Amino acid sequence: MRSLDAIYAPVADDLALVEDTLSLVAQSDFLPLEAMLNQVLSRGGKRLRPAISLLCGGFGDYDADAQIPLAASIELLHTATLVHDDVIDSADTRRGQVTANATFGNPASVMLGDYMFAHAAELVARTGHIGVIRLFADTLMVMAKGELAQDVSAFDADSGTMRDYYRRIHGKTASLFATAGAGGAMMSACDADTIDSLREYGRSIGMAFQIVDDILDFCGSEEQLGKPVGGDLSSGTLTLPAIVLMEDSPRDNPVQRFLEAKDDDDRAARLDQALDAARQPSIVDRCMETVDDWRERGLGALNRAPDSGPREQLTAIAEFVTQRDF
């Protein structure tokens, strides 16, 4: 499998400028804020979303001066949602590092996330493209709805349907991938069919990406995840492995028993049983078949875009996000 550095090669210089833009965001005349920004923005990451945005700009009239602020705004929006997620989940670590809320407390971290949302909006406004600005605003609303849907359905077995799950992960994750694809194409003045194709490519790859993450939450290691294994289920969030298990045994299964636990001690005792049951090879294999279906759907959409764009790199990204180790 190709490395991300090799995949990103056509946009490497502009991706470096995205990093420079994020470094400027971390500068502030208010030193406590600067310390918080540096903590959350210095973690790096795969930068998949800004890379997709820049690459999708290659299907039209590419203008780096417009593409770079958009790509930076997408990454900043993503990072801001992680800050808020950590507050909601009371997470102490992310990617193996201490979270902002563990360091600075929840109230300050909420305001940090709000500041980053505002700065992301300022960056996208620099593009001067009213359609992209509207897309950014719509995406933020969809992401907020996705997070709310997850929070209000915690420990609710009735929310454990495939339809509910797909709706949640579209809102939380795939919508921003879709915006990366469509936004990059819009900034390059692509035609409507190309924009729609790249939007669907991004959405489908985002769905596959999140499902892989959800499988890893059952089958990965704490070292690999940078956070405790089984965090989603322990917080009452039903993801694909648990849903498949519940569909196989709708009347009695370890996940259902975990959700129905009467107290914390009872719930803790039942969590390991539920995790073990949901990581059975047969269930993992079926979940990976779903990942493959979303990847192929994304590649099908990509194939409808013009031959002149960077299809090879976007195809490689699709392969990368769906072949991570378990």
CATH number, residue 134? 1.10.600.10
Q: What is the mean pLDDT of residues 17-28?
A: 97
Of all residues in the chain, the percent with pLDDT exceeding 70 is: 99
What is residue 325's predicted lDDT score, i.e. its pLDDT?
Answer: 61
pLDDT for 117 beyond 90? yes
Task: Quickly count helices (H) and strands (E) in the chain.
Answer: 18, 2
pLDDT digits (tens, 9 = 90+) for 40-92: 998 778 999 999 999 999 999 999 999 999 999 999 999 999 999 888 888 88
What is residue 326's predicted lDDT score, i.e. its pLDDT?
Answer: 46
pTM, 2 dp: 0.96
Question: CA-CA distances (angstroms) from residue 267 to 21, 128, 231, 253, 270?
Answer: 45, 52, 13, 14, 5
pLDDT digits (tens, 9 = 90+) for 173-210: 999 999 999 999 999 999 999 999 999 999 999 999 99
pLDDT digits (tens, 9 = 90+) for 212-255: 999 999 998 777 777 778 999 999 999 999 999 999 988 889 99
The amino acid occupying position 63 is: D
What is residue 84's predicted lDDT score, i.e. its pLDDT?
Answer: 93
Q: What is the mean pLDDT of residues 242-270?
A: 88
Q: What is the mean pLDDT of residues 125-134?
A: 97
Separation between Cα atoms, residue 302 and residue 296, nearest integer Å: 10
Separation between Cα atoms, residue 126 and residue 182, nearest integer Å: 17
What is residue 264's predicted lDDT score, i.e. its pLDDT?
Answer: 77
**Distance, first Cα to last Cα, the chain:** 15
**Domain around 83:** 4-322
Residues 6+ apart with CB under 8 A from 258: 233, 267, 270, 271, 273, 274
Q: What is the mean pLDDT of residues 156-166?
A: 90
Q: Which residues are 93's β-sheet partners? A: 98
More confident residue, 325 or 71: 71
What is residue 2's predicted lDDT score, i.e. its pLDDT?
Answer: 85
Domain count, the chain: 1
Q: What is the mean pLDDT of residues 15-25?
A: 97
Separation between Cα atoms, residue 157 and residue 161, nearest integer Å: 9
Q: What is the mean pLDDT of residues 279-284?
A: 94
> Which residue is associated with the tokens 């992209």?
132
Of all residues in the chain, the percent with pLDDT exceeding 90 is: 79
Separation between Cα atoms, residue 201 and residue 169, nearest integer Å: 15
Band (324; pLDDT cuts 50, 70, 90) = low
More confident residue, 140 or 158: 140
DSSP state letter for 79? H
